[in-house]
Chains A and B, each alone.
Chain A
Amino acid sequence: MVVALHTLTGALYLLACLASGAGLALGSARATRIAVGALAVGALAHGLTFSLLHTANPPPPLTDLTWAASLMAWLGTLAYLALLRRAKVSGLVVLVAPMAFLGVFLASLRPGPVAATTAGSASLAHAHVLLASGGFALLGLAGLCGALFLAEHRRLKRRQALPDSGLPSLESLDRAGAVALAIGFPLLTLGVVTGAMWVHAAHGAAMTGNAHEIGALLAWCVYLVLVLQRFAVHQGARRCAVSALAGFALLSVWVVGVEMLA
């Protein structure tokens, strides 16, 4: 059932990808609306998948990268759908949908989440994965906002703008990126803290010095600088977009790198 629901989720996200691509190519607002709708239905199916997984005894902590990626994709999709209420970024679906599909596709490469034996508190492990994934998803969303901002900025600067393309305005993307960063960074912080508590419960020390911990701390420090630059120094929107994209790239390299090292 989990696999079937997960496959349905992937299909809906794929439909969202195709519809958003058509919306961009044809400048059709209707296609974009269909994409957002498919994404929302996909997120519902995705949520049901994780609910079913949670009924397992014991529930898998989703510490393996593929299913963690699927969780991040779901949380990122939910965050995007929530952001739509705050900023006119429906056109961002053109990037969110492929990322969501990619997360589900990676998880589908494995038949099901690994029921890993977790040392220490299982609830801390769950809290760490949920918070860190949520933080990662939102920071990823900020990165996507940054990527689309830079593409649009470049096009406007080169006077190749496409009026009525249905893509979000620079201001919307900047605002959405700021909101995603403002929520994502505290979640990442809580993820790091719960991770440290989990390690402490398992090993008696907050840090064991492995690559995962060092990478997490490094990424957190980088994002602290980005947050200060955006909210304290008020640097320009383009630089914020570059920072958000670079930060997300660094975070991704860290997550994938750690997995490969493991």
Chain B
Amino acid sequence: MKLLLVGMNHRSAPLDLRERLAVEDPGPLVQKLVACEEIDEAVLLSTCNRVEVVALTRSPEAARMRLRSFFRRELGADQPGLLERGLDEALYEYRDGEAMRHVMRVAAALDSMVVGEPQILGQTKDAYRAAVECGACGPILDRLYQRAFATAKRVRTDTRIAEGSLSVARVAVALARQIFEDMSGKRALLLGAGEMAELALGALRDAGVASLAVANRSAERAAQLAVAYGATAHGLDELPRLLAESDVVLTSIGGDRPILRVDTLEPALRVRRGRPIFVIDIGVPRNADPAIDRLDDVYRYDIDALAAVASGNAEERRREQARAEAIVSEEQQRFEGWFAALRAVPTIRDLRGRVEAIRARELERALPRLGLDDDAREAVEALSRALVNKILHAPLSRLRREAEREEGMAYLEVARLLFGLDDDAESAGAEAEGSPDADPEEP
């Protein structure tokens, strides 16, 4: 059994590509995936910043091809231009230990655009729940996700990584208050979308901003956000007018070229007659050209700057992140051990089956000769079962422990050889009967 993860995130794919592949209801899609022969279990996570599938498979190469085509055909619905937009290059793959680690890092928000942000854990739980409900999440992925949720909880409680990220939105508001006297008369504009931008938009709304506007390439998405935040929805063609009217501009929009440049802001500043604009750039890559810093009345903070202010200093942030990564490594090792121990399951099952068959056969042969009543028969049966269990306990425990290590495979092979587990049952039975050990008269 192998774990395989294929996906894309805010670092590997631009927003417009992620938007095209994002799904609202992953249930039917993972059902389709597990219906394929090469995939046994699957979970699909789709957020604004990532689309990922974790799968359990017996044929990793076939599953890899299947998942890549799943992204193109099912998620992308064979939209024209996906390949041109770099779909293949945007997809990353992780296997086994790396895949486990990635799932845990995602749940703990260590792979998020804003490290420590709170939404991703809920989104991961939703994805897991959807997979469970449609029967796509079996015992192994179930265990992985339970471990990932426990890891996220540990990271939240044992480190201060979440404090900084939670306060990023608050810092955005606090910084806006250093520029503007009163937020109640101010206008905020959101360009694009994204978790952190929405969080900051919500914080600005709570701070009493007079009006909110949302502009996006996708009018539909702009309309959705506008409804959610009581804002007005606009197209990007209205940007010059919107900039002239806006005091706070939050940007989180895809594209290779910065949307906020000196030439786009200068006309707006002329109209504003020196009233400042606070630009909060949450886009990756950055949506605001750093050259706008030379404009006196523009104050630009990107996500790193906000996070740095939020967590006090970069050194502290790095320290907390290192502690969080150590927790993930510890949990990953624990899960990897459990996962590796699964290799011992077939051997243990076969060995138990073989010994149990011998016990049953020998008991069946001996009991008529002993002429016991029912109570005595039950006592002898219990005795034989207890003997088998006690004899097998130590070797089976050892096999389980050794299977967690790569070198432990040798123990499994030896056990199979010694007990003839790969021989067919009849010949094994015959060997057992013909061997001196099998002679019931032998003391």
Binding site for B on A (CB under 8 A): 87-88, 152-153, 156-157, 159, 161, 163-165, 167-172, 175, 234-240
- 22 residue pairs of the A-B complex, CB under 8 angstroms, read A88-B181, A88-B182, A152-B178, A153-B296, A156-B175, A157-B293, A159-B308, A161-B175, A161-B309, A163-B177, A163-B178, A168-B181, A169-B178, A169-B181, A170-B178, A170-B180, A171-B276, A235-B274, A236-B269, A236-B296, A236-B297, A239-B296
Min C-beta distance of A132 to chain B, whole Å? 30
Residues of B within 8 A of A87 (CB): 181
Binding site for A on B (CB under 8 A): 171, 174-175, 177-182, 269, 273-274, 276, 293, 296-297, 299, 301, 305, 308-309
Contact among A153, A167, A168, A236 for B274, CB-based, below 8 A: A236
User: In the complex, which residue of chain B has the Cβ closest to the Cβ of A237?
Assistant: B274
Residues of A within 8 A of B269 (CB): 236
Quick check: B297 and A167 within 8 Å, CB to CB? Answer: no
Contact among B181, B273, B309 for A159, CB-based, below 8 A: B309
User: In the complex, which residue of chain B has the Cβ closest to the Cβ of A160?
Assistant: B309
| Closest A-B pairs by Cβ, 7 of them | A163-B174, A236-B274, A234-B273, A238-B296, A159-B305, A172-B181, A171-B181
| Residues A171 and B174 in contact in the complex (CB < 8 Å), given A159-B305, A236-B274, A238-B297 | no
CA–CA, A238 and B180, complex, Å: 14
Contact among B181, B293, B296, B309 for A163, CB-based, below 8 A: B309
Quick check: B181 and A175 within 8 Å, CB to CB? Answer: yes
CA–CA, A74 and B371, complex, Å: 119
Quick check: A161 and B178 within 8 Å, CB to CB? Answer: yes
Quick check: A170 and B296 within 8 Å, CB to CB? Answer: no
Residues of A within 8 A of B171 (CB): 163
CA–CA, A161 and B276, complex, Å: 16
CA–CA, A193 and B431, complex, Å: 126
User: In the complex, which residue of chain B has the Cβ closest to the Cβ of A238?
Assistant: B296
Min C-beta distance of B235 to chain A, whole Å? 30
User: In the complex, which residue of chain B has the Cβ closest to the Cβ of A173?
Assistant: B181
CA–CA, A235 and B308, complex, Å: 32
Contact among A159, A169, A236, A237 for B177, CB-based, below 8 A: A169
Quick check: B179 and A171 within 8 Å, CB to CB? Answer: yes
| Residues A156 and B181 in contact in the complex (CB < 8 Å), given A170-B276, A236-B274, A236-B297 | no
CA–CA, A163 and B178, complex, Å: 7
CA–CA, A246 and B29, complex, Å: 68
Min C-beta distance of B258 to chain A, whole Å? 17
CA–CA, A157 and B175, complex, Å: 11
Residues of B within 8 A of A153 (CB): 296
User: In the complex, which residue of chain A has the Cβ closest to the Cβ of B171?
Assistant: A163
Residues of B within 8 A of A238 (CB): 296-297
Min C-beta distance of A100 to chain B, whole Å? 24
Min C-beta distance of A240 to chain B, whole Å? 8
CA–CA, A236 and B301, complex, Å: 20
Quick check: B301 and A170 within 8 Å, CB to CB? Answer: no
Given contacts A170-B178, A234-B273, A240-B274, 11 further A-B contacts (CB under 8 A): A87-B181, A88-B182, A156-B175, A156-B179, A156-B299, A159-B301, A163-B174, A165-B178, A169-B181, A171-B181, A236-B274
Quick check: B181 and A157 within 8 Å, CB to CB? Answer: no
Residues of B within 8 A of A175 (CB): 181
Most buried by B among A163, A165, A170, A175: A163
CA–CA, A169 and B176, complex, Å: 9
Contact among B174, B276, B309 for A237, CB-based, below 8 A: B276
CA–CA, A168 and B181, complex, Å: 8
Most buried by B among A156, A167, A238: A156
CA–CA, A234 and B177, complex, Å: 23
Quick check: B299 and A157 within 8 Å, CB to CB? Answer: yes
Min C-beta distance of A241 to chain B, whole Å? 10
User: In the complex, which residue of chain A has the Cβ closest to the Cβ of B297?
Assistant: A236
Residues of A within 8 A of B180 (CB): 169-171
Min C-beta distance of A191 to chain B, whole Å? 29
Most buried by A among B177, B178, B297: B178
Residues of B within 8 A of A235 (CB): 274
User: In the complex, which residue of chain A has the Cβ closest to the Cβ of B174?
Assistant: A163
Contact among A169, A236, A240 for B179, CB-based, below 8 A: A169
Residues of A within 8 A of B181 (CB): 87-88, 168-169, 171-172, 175
Min C-beta distance of A92 to chain B, whole Å? 13
CA–CA, A249 and B216, complex, Å: 48
Residues of A within 8 A of B175 (CB): 156, 161, 163
CA–CA, A167 and B273, complex, Å: 24
Quick check: B309 and A156 within 8 Å, CB to CB? Answer: no
Min C-beta distance of B62 to chain A, whole Å? 50
Min C-beta distance of B433 to chain A, whole Å? 83
Residues of B within 8 A of A159 (CB): 301, 305, 308-309
Min C-beta distance of B171 to chain A, whole Å? 6
Min C-beta distance of B425 to chain A, whole Å? 73
Residues of A within 8 A of B276 (CB): 170-171, 237
CA–CA, A240 and B181, complex, Å: 17
Min C-beta distance of A166 to chain B, whole Å? 10
